[in-house]
Amino acid sequence: MVGFTDIDDRGREGMELAYDEWLAGVPGKRQVLKDRRGRLIKDVQVVKNAKAGKPLALSIDLRLQYLAHRELRNALAEFGAKAGSLVMVDVKTGEVLAMVNHPTYNPNNRRNLQPAAMRNRAMIDVFEPGSTMKPFSMSAALASGRWKPEDKVDVHPGWLRIGRYTIRDVSRAEGGVLDLTGILLKSSNVGMSKIAFDIGGESIYSIMQRVGLGQDTGLGFPGERVGNLPNHREWRKAETATLSYGYGLSVTAIQLAHAYSVLANDGRSVPMSLVRMDRKPESTAVMSEPVAKTLQGMLQQVVEAPGGVYRARCRATTGRQERYGAQGGGRFQGLYRARVSLPVRRLRADQRPAHRHRGGHRRAEQGRLLRRPGVRPRVRPGDGRRPASVEHRPGQPAATGRDPDGLGAGGKQGRAQLMPMPLNQLLPQAESAVLIRELTLDSRKVRPGDLFLAVPGLQQDGRAHIGDAWRAAPRPWPMKRKAPKI
């Protein structure tokens, strides 16, 4: 997301490219005397003063970015997926709190850099969102006044013929009858299609357009795609049914996260931003507040009610799309309540192998890990915590994604603030439950409750100072682990 610069310090990818003029500044000029060999003899005068580039504070929360990176990598490794992306958004401000993609790359080591790893999949790759569209189709039904959450739909026998097409349900309902919440919980294509036939495809298209699908997010990220939201002159049954359960359209991960932020924000849309906001932006009502709150309660049952995808406290829906024939991808969309902000998280995995796990089972577990106690989004501006930032001045190398975990290289940047958590929660392979308060790379700054990471750096090798940290810690816990390849 941050991107990198070329040898001339010009932005070539990501935010470095999008804000190149803002970050670059203006180089100065000096009049000097040189001999015929080009050696400096005398510095005469300054012809033009240099102007420093302006700082740019990103909205990314470093702790959430680290956890999102770790959990996405673990999920892809467990299921053998080739690629994935994860987005977290603060629905009150529109700030993107975390955005990670895999495969990724280390900008400090480009020896084996693959062009595909440089792509910000969350904003560039489009896909069919599948069943994650059902809550928006359901909102159109509720807004029409023709349907209420307790209304019943007969989904027996689990399939529905429309001309030469057959719509099928994966999860069979007991008795063959579901209410509207049950349709979301069982992810019933048949039930959703029957509701769509009653309200019409135009109303479903309208609500999807209002929440931002098929439109530019306004982030200004280079290469961002808008996807496709089809609008038909005549809405036949086949087009109406497929749109209601998320087929026949294409979206990006960031668009889907933005759409769900409307549900989480009681029907109000807030402009998205990758830059930290100084004040709360103005929101626009695109959905009835009672409808949005009703849907929040329905989505909460998807994961909390018996038969839900995972017993985690959040509001969520799951989906799966077909891609390249036999291979598919899974998505999990969750809305999480926090004390100081309300983020919406969107996780997507591409091209999993033949054993087809449903989109929500493992994705809901990754969401639970991201929402662990003590790891919550930063509070509003002015709280004293330092945001992720990109700062570029003439004569200095531009920000290229160094220190991706936000731990720094020593001094004040050598400590990473954490909410207190047990060691075995931060590092699953540890057996100790001792409470960890901070991470540090500087052995001179180790204090009780710190976790010292001995890693080789650009100037110092932290492994040579393990003894110093050992003597400073009243309760040492040795652990050796090979660093993962990123």
Q: Evaluate if residue 221 carries a pLDDT over 90.
A: yes
* Alpha-carbon distances of 182 from 153, 265, 308, 365, rounded to whole Å: 9, 23, 10, 21
What pLDDT does 116 receive?
82
What pLDDT does 243 receive?
96
Catalytic residue, chosen from 85, 131, 187, 341, is 131
Please, are residues 333 and 132 in contact by the beta-carbon 8 Å criterion? yes
In the chain, the domains with their CATH numbers are 14-56 (no CATH), 117-335+353-369 (3.40.710.10), 407-486 (3.40.1390.10)
In a 13 Å sphere around the CA of 46, the CA atoms on its Cβ side amount to: 5
Q: Evaluate if residue 330 carries a pLDDT over 50.
A: yes
Angle at 256 between CA 253 and CA 257, to 5 degrees: 85
What pLDDT does 215 receive?
93
What pLDDT does 386 receive?
39
Mean pLDDT of 228-237: 94
Q: Strand locations in 339-471, DSSP E?
A: 343-352, 389-390, 415-422, 435-440, 450-452
Q: Evaluate if residue 432 carries a pLDDT over 80.
A: no
What pLDDT does 51 receive?
87
What pLDDT does 5 receive?
84
Q: Omega of the bond prior to 476 within 30 degrees of 0, cis?
A: no
Which pair of tokens denotes residue 27?
């180089």
What pLDDT does 124 receive?
93
What pLDDT does 332 receive?
52
Mean pLDDT of 35-54: 89
Q: Evaluate if residue 57 carries a pLDDT over 70.
A: yes
- What is the Cα gyration radius of the chain? 25
Mean pLDDT of 215-224: 92
Q: Omega of the bond prior to 55 within 30 degrees of 0, cis?
A: no
**Tell me: the pLDDT tens digits for 163-212?**
888 999 987 666 689 999 999 999 999 999 999 999 999 999 999 999 99
**Tell me: the pLDDT tens digits for 60-86?**
998 999 999 999 999 888 888 889 999
What pLDDT does 322 receive?
43
What pLDDT does 300 receive?
87
Q: Could you tell me the pLDDT band of residue 384, with boundaries at 50, 70 and 90? A: very low
**Tell me: the pLDDT tens digits for 446-460?**
777 777 777 776 566
Mean pLDDT of 205-220: 95
Q: Could you tell me the pLDDT band of residue 426, with boundaries at 50, 70 and 90? A: low
Mean pLDDT of 315-332: 46
Q: Could you tell me the pLDDT band of residue 298, with boundaries at 50, 70 and 90? A: very high
> Rounded to an integer, what distance in angstroms lies between the CA atom of residue 168 and that of residue 170?
7
Mean pLDDT of 153-159: 92
User: Of 160-174, 256-270, 276-290, 313-327, where does mean pLDDT reach its minimum?
Assistant: 313-327
Q: Which residue has the higher pLDDT, 101 or 304?
A: 101
Q: Evaluate if residue 100 carries a pLDDT over 50.
A: yes
Q: Evaluate if residue 233 carries a pLDDT over 50.
A: yes
- Paired sense of beta strands 83-90 and 96-102, if any: antiparallel
Q: Could you tell me the pLDDT band of residue 106, with boundaries at 50, 70 and 90? A: confident
What DSSP state is assigned to residue 210?
Answer: H
**Could you tell me which of 135, 157, 103 has the C-alpha nearest to residue 208?**
135
Q: Could you tell me the pLDDT band of residue 377, with boundaries at 50, 70 and 90? A: low
131: annotated active-site residue: yes
pTM equals 0.70
Q: Evaluate if residue 92 carries a pLDDT over 80.
A: yes
User: Of 217-226, 255-264, 394-403, where does mean pLDDT reach its minimum?
Assistant: 394-403
User: Of 3-7, 43-47, 430-434, 463-467, where does mean pLDDT reach its minimum?
Assistant: 430-434
H/E stretch holding 33 reads: strand 29-34
Please, are residues 59 and 275 in contact by the beta-carbon 8 Å criterion? yes
What pLDDT does 85 receive?
92
What pLDDT does 429 receive?
57
The stretches of 395-444 forming alpha helices (DSSP H) are: 423-426
Q: Could you tell me the pLDDT band of residue 359, with boundaries at 50, 70 and 90? A: low
Mean pLDDT (the chain) is 77
